[in-house]
Chains A and B, each alone.
Chain A
Amino acid sequence: MTFSTPATLPRHRALVATLAAAAILAACGGSKDSGGNGPAVGTSVSLTLMETTDLHQTILGYDYYKLAADPSVGFERTSTLIKQVRAANANTMLFDAGDIIQGTVLGDYQALVDKVPCTDKLAIFKAMDSVGYDAGTIGNHEFNYGLAYLGQVTGRQFNVKNLPAVSAQARCQGPAYPQVLANVVSTTDAKPIFDPYVILTRTMSATTPDGKTVTVPVKVGVIGFTPPLIMAWDKGNLDGNVTTNGLQETAARYIPEMKARGADIIVAISHGGPDGAAYSATMENGNLYLAQVPGIDVLLMGHMHQVFPNAGSTVAAFNIAGVDKTAGTVSGVPAVMANFWGKNLGVVNLKLAYTADGWAVDKTATTTSTMSTQNADKTYVAADATIAPLVQAEHAGTIAYVKTPIGTTDYRMTTYFADVGDPTAIQIVNQAQAAYVKDYVAANLPQYKNLPVLSVSAPFKSGFGGGTDYTDVAGGPLAINNAADLYLYANTIQAVLVTGADIKAWLEFAARRFNQIDPTLTTAQALVSSFPGYNFDVMDGDGAIKYEIDVTQPLGSRIRNLTYDGTAIDPAAQFIVATNNYRASGGGGFPGLDGSKTIYQSPDANRDVLIRYIKAAATLARTTNGSDRSWHFTRVTTAGPVQFSSAPNLATLAAGDGIPGVTQVQADDGSNLGLARYQIDLSVQ
């Protein structure tokens, strides 16, 4: 059904929230210095504002699942860009647009595994503070770990229902820079849970009309916003504690106040993007409308994980009326968005001119851009060497966590020979998926309780990238990173209700993985087609389902002797198949799989389900978890060799995994990818 569901609303929102005035917590106040002490009219200031956004605790250029360097991401390289900008400009300020504390294994490690103590600063804030920020806002992901944790790591004491009284809360280590957020309000006292804005006085280098260099104070007002949809996304953490207000209404309320308190210019940091849909107070990306509020001089955006300005962008949100993706404006206001994971730095160059009415932004002289950590020659800027030592302990702790054993295996689990039937890395995934779905059906879908539950999974890593692009988990201890090798993608589990005919069609489609073999040909024939390995679904069902693939037959006629419990499958009989959301929704274009057969959409990731299954099993044994040959090739004698590629010198591995007749014929298949050529004797399968 496509109906929306109720109960997504925050309940009991106090009417008084609209009546009560929020406290003003500006760090600096005071009226505009418009008297005789101001600079000469015509004095100008060049001010460069920098933005990071969506850092997601990506501090170092490192992939914790691969346990390998990844220079394409990481704040340690953004820091290099920041220092370059500072070196080249007299007046700079640095801001962050939110989604800071969550998003990598390091984020989970510090929040959930080895919780950062109250007395210690979160790793990402250590890094950011070492560089020095002027202000920042709060993204939607800051709420993922709950308000207590958010309060701790930001050094705040929230006056909300589900936390102890403010007086009973410790004030923990937060970032050194002020964090502002105007549109999230406590239901307890109707006040914003963060300071809604701050007014920063900065002494800046200026040029007088007669060309002299002087220093002048400039008051920069900074206000922050987050997507109101946090109330749906983090309902469990937020419902009853806070409410959100619309961006436009919130800005219209506070910006005049900021001006009255002396702000010379206003910087709005909004963790969101633009959206051409009609304005609503709950819209996710309300910046098109936020920027229409009078007084905003600069808009720093985030959340969408995009680069803005970007003249070539095809992103729909950047191709709507009111957004100039080339000039970098939203509703006429200079705006930037700096991608994510520290890949880019947003830069806004402002020209301020002092007039009889105070400082004014010369919009004709304003430019916006982003800098990339990747150079034109595809290399990356050097990492700022001062960052890594700051987070050495957290980094090492996260690596240790990823390596923490979740179980052991008495066999090597690989996909080197998955194309010819090796189940060692696939059966365990199918077992975990099937067990999960069986449990769910038994508990929640009694109408299906008598149906057999099967499972499919494919070898996601099957040599596309060469001899190292295979799943390969050694026998011995299994850790979280091994689970990521066994299940590559962030899919979630789904269960589909299919017929025996659907299963046959499913497997026939998967069998496109193979070329049609002519047994009479004496020349060598390639077994594997261009059909991708990640679509070579292997179906399993605790040994109950068996089938053959006859590669001598044309597409659509290759599945033979398809049985369940030893009996030919009835085309009309029903089965439940555990799979992933991508496949169930139509990914790969499998016949009949289009989202219409799904009976259960689990919120749980296949990889997490696999980890839980391994933890519960404790020890994986080849006999129970890695030897069920649910399919094999139909036996046929071929006049010539049938060949395929895999990593070199592994024929004995194939034999040990129960795949007969595999021999290596060339240590290099000529692809220059570190692959060897093997041949398989189809007469002994």
Chain B
Amino acid sequence: MKRLVAAVALPATLMIAAAATRPFWVAPDAAQAQAWLHAAADRHDAQAEASLARWSDRGDAQARHAYTVLLAHRGDAASRERLEKLLGDAAEAGDALAATQLAQLLASPRAGVGAGPAAGAGARAGAGAPPDDARIARLLAQGSDGHVPAASRLLALRALDAKSGTRDPVRAASLMAQAAQGGDAPAMFLYANMLRAGQGVKQDEARALALYQAAADADYAPAIQALAIAYRQGELGLPADASQSRLMDHEAAEALAHAAN
């Protein structure tokens, strides 16, 4: 059901046609970049990867995007290091999306965080340098200023973090609203939660419902699940309707299956 913003690329026939007709000195378009990406990722085509790296180094946006996808897909230490450099250079050059992606990369779990012996029960995952929090914050601010919705969402979550020392639910709500307005489905869902709870913003169940529905329309499973629960329980002004809840649950299962593929 519903709309899915899937990362399905151009038909292979188009890619082949593009590859066959493009002189090597002409910068790649999206089709060419995708062709190289898939050749490198699926067939381990070293020449295709070299082409991506070369054009990426020259600052070509299409090639850089495809190359970042390739490196992120690989996930090994060398690829990660290369990816950090690539995104860092782009961010420094003013690319808000790259700044956001780099922030996400730096914040993503590595071999473990934290240090020192445990004072009580529990454990720590292992050694590893903690992420550079200040840098992450700067990068997200750059992304948010550049109207990247995911950056605004992540900044909002930081503003909600009790451990951050700068907890500010009102600012969080404002940033989350901005991200939701930008079409970010997780932000729609999270902002709906905030509206529902009156967290940092005046409680407004009608707006919360509309946002859940908008996120559900974008095939975001948690929002569909929220609607399934709301129908079952008669929440958010909806009539209690077990049958409609079951239908929503079915929709959620479908959205989850799509997301998993």
Contact = CB atoms under 8 A, between A and B. Distances in A.
- Asked if A and B are interacting partners, one says yes
A605 B250 CA distance: 12
A534 B7 CA distance: 34
A303 B1 contact: yes
Contacts, number: 244
Interface string A574-590: 11000001100111110
Interface string B230-260: 0011110000101100110111110011101
B120 A570 contact: yes
B260 A603 contact: yes
A18 B13 contact: yes
B73 interface: yes
Contacts of B126: 447, 450
Given A2-B101, A586-B189, A15 B16 contact: yes
Interface stretch (B21-29, B55-63, B88-96, B155-163): B155-163
Contacts of A305: 1-2, 247, 251
Given A6-B70, A8-B8, 13 more contacts: A1-B101, A5-B7, A5-B73, A73-B247, A315-B217, A316-B218, A317-B3, A448-B125, A490-B249, A505-B162, A572-B124, A582-B226, A589-B197
Contacts of B222: 581-582, 585-587
A447 B111 contact: yes
B12 interface: yes
Contacts of B37: 6
A539 B101 CA distance: 34
B121 A567 contact: yes
Interface size class of A (residues with CB under 8 A): 35 or more
Contacts of A571: 120
Contacts of A165: none
Interface of B: 1-4, 6-13, 16-17, 37-38, 40-42, 68-70, 72-73, 100-101, 104-105, 107-112, 114, 116, 118-126, 150, 154, 157, 160-163, 186, 189-190, 193-194, 196-197, 199, 210, 213-214, 217-218, 221-222, 225-226, 228-229, 232-235, 240, 242-243, 246-247, 249-253, 256-258, 260-261
Nearest to B246: A63
B81 to A, nearest CB: 15
Residue from the set B3, B109, B214, B257 with the largest chain A CB neighbour count within 10 Å: B3
A592 B172 CA distance: 13
A229 B6 contact: yes
A37 B226 CA distance: 62
Contact of A491 (B8, B9, B120, B225): B225
A513 B248 CA distance: 25
A9 interface: yes
A563 interface: yes
Interface string A339-369: 0110000000000000000000000000000
A572 B13 contact: no
Contacts of B251: 305
Contacts of B233: 464, 532, 534
A571 B42 CA distance: 44
A6 B42 contact: yes
Interface stretch (A25-33, A593-601, A619-627): A593-601
A232 to B, nearest CB: 5
Contact of A17 (B3, B13, B41): B13
Given A2-B150, A7-B41, A317 B109 contact: no
Contacts of B189: 585-586
A304 B218 CA distance: 11
Contacts of A5: 7, 69, 73
B121 A565 contact: yes
Interface stretch (A156-164, A280-288, A643-651): A280-288
A13 B120 contact: no
A61 to B, nearest CB: 10
B6 A9 contact: no
Nearest to B69: A3
B125 A574 contact: yes
B72 A3 contact: yes
Contacts of B250: 103, 490
A235 to B, nearest CB: 6
B125 A451 contact: yes
A568 B122 CA distance: 9
A458 B17 CA distance: 55
A671 to B, nearest CB: 14
B11 A573 contact: no
A586 B157 CA distance: 11
A573 B214 CA distance: 38
A182 interface: no
Contacts of B2: 304-305
A218 B162 CA distance: 71
B249 A12 contact: no
Nearest to A14: B13
Contacts of B68: 3
A603 B197 CA distance: 30
